[in-house]
Amino acid sequence: MKVFSVTILILYFSTVWSKCPYADLILKHPNGETTDVGKTICPHEFTLPNERKNVSSFALPKHLTSEPDENAVTREGCKCSSSCGATGDDGFLCDWCKTEDKCGKYSYVYGAYYDYCTYPVIESYEKQSWKDKMSYIVSQVNQDNSYGPYPNVAIIFAESAQTSFDVHWDFLPNGRQKSIHGLGVVCEMKLKITGGNYTGVLEKGEASGLIRMGSALDLKLGSMVPGNGYKIFRSGKPSANWVSLYSLAGIEDGNFNFFDRSQKTHVPPPTGIAIPLGYKFQQASNCILQVGLSDAARYTQDGQEVSSEDLSFPYQLEFAPTEATKYLISSFKMSADMFLGEMVANIPHDNFGLFDIVATSSPAADAVVETIGQVVVTNQCTTSKFGDEKLFFKHQRIEDDFKERPWWLEHMDLGEVCWKDNVGVTPPPICVNGECDLTPPKKIVRDEKLKA
């Protein structure tokens, strides 16, 4: 545990708090003009010619040597010649790719033209029915039930946290790795909603999709950190997704029973080695302890849009293991092989009620807290190479919910429930919208010395 903590902290301080090495620079050119590098959102292009590096002499970021994703789009409409990913130039904040045909801007650091990536809706895929999309993803899940070692969690500090909130796909972009929740099982399921007065996929009735379950961190680190991803496919629209967690630190007292604790869409503040993870997530949201649910309530499974006047979504969802679920998994310390084996072997799959769904209507003292239904497993759970490496569950910023219900903020102890006091309806600048900027705390004036 101590070695893991040191590794996390070293990578955290060297990446999350790093920024473009030229961000504090004002370049003074021979003609007397100056370039204020700190005002640019394109940190690569201002490297001095005499500081150009031989790109073959140092290790290139992995995404620059990976195949481009055909579905990724750049802000300037360029065609990527590499996959998209983040680098330390801006503190691993915004994804970018190398581009073809001299499109975008030139980076002297990497010796190539580049532009920042966006991940728009794939219209040809999303126009399908929810059944067709689910059938396709399930076929990918079931194609290979192998799994590898748990990925190094430190990878998260060298990737953009924003990507988890801004990709509108059911699968990860090329080059993107799951550094947390790296191993798990995938189960076909349905939401069986019998109560509440919510809309979209949370309305009364049934909605089908997938649940992926696993420990957020490697079990070798000594604790079980139960976490789930939920995906409800929708006709003509991107799927509804949300995630739940017990806590960022995991179950106390060495208990490895995945189903011993309820999970929520809100979690307590991070402690110990989870604190650096918390700061990393603040790249994407000012309230990292919560995820939004308004998108799930916006469209039904059949793709019918709910009007703004009728939109109804809960402040929080809790997923409480049913009595029959609580004893499916052993509580003693176990390896990933043992854990995944028990999950596959022990979870019943014939319309088994896995979790009760408890909804809290708002953060107000008089909020309605009620059980609105169950997560019901409908088919055999499985380990999956695709599930571990490609299946993606988009996170929704809670700020989206605050925009719809701004009065909620008046009833929240922001420092406690968001881990930050200055929280409103606006999230941090969003890369894919072109909002990110570098605002350096100081300026350094240095003469530009050009080689003859």
pLDDT of residue 32: 53
CA dihedral 393, 394, 395, 400 (to 10 degrees): -150
Of the ranges 38-52, 274-288, 401-415, which is most confident?
A: 401-415
DSSP line for 172-240: PPTT----SS-S-EEEEEEEEE-SS---GGGSSEEEEEEEEEEESS-GGGS---EEEEEEEEETTEEEE
pLDDT of residue 61: 76
pLDDT tens profile 47-102? 333 333 333 334 567 788 889 999 999 999 999 999 999 988 888 999 999 999 99
pLDDT of residue 151: 86
**pLDDT band for position 298 (50/70/90)?**
very high
Q: Which residues of 201-239 are buried (b: 16+ CB within 10 A; e: fewer)?
A: bbbeeebbbbbbbbbbbbbebebbbbbbbbbbbbbbbbb
pLDDT of residue 257: 98
Q: Three-state SS for 274?
A: helix
407 phi and psi, to 5 degrees? Answer: -70, -20
In the chain, domain spans: 16-118+437-447, 123-431
pLDDT tens profile 106-153? 988 888 999 999 999 999 999 999 999 999 999 999 999 999 898 888
**pLDDT band for position 215 (50/70/90)?**
very high
Greater model confidence, 88 or 303: 303
Place of tokens 């980076």: 107
State pTM to two decimals: 0.85
Taking the C-alpha atoms of residue 256 and residue 333, their distance in angstroms, rounded to an integer, is 6
pLDDT of residue 11: 45
What single-letter amino acid sits at 46?
F
Beta bridge partner(s), residue 370: 359
Taking the C-alpha atoms of residue 214 and residue 339, their distance in angstroms, rounded to an integer, is 9
Beta bridge partner(s), residue 112: 107
Place of tokens 């939004």: 292
Q: Three-state SS for 278?
A: helix
pLDDT of residue 65: 83
Compute the average pLDDT of residues 221-247.
Answer: 97
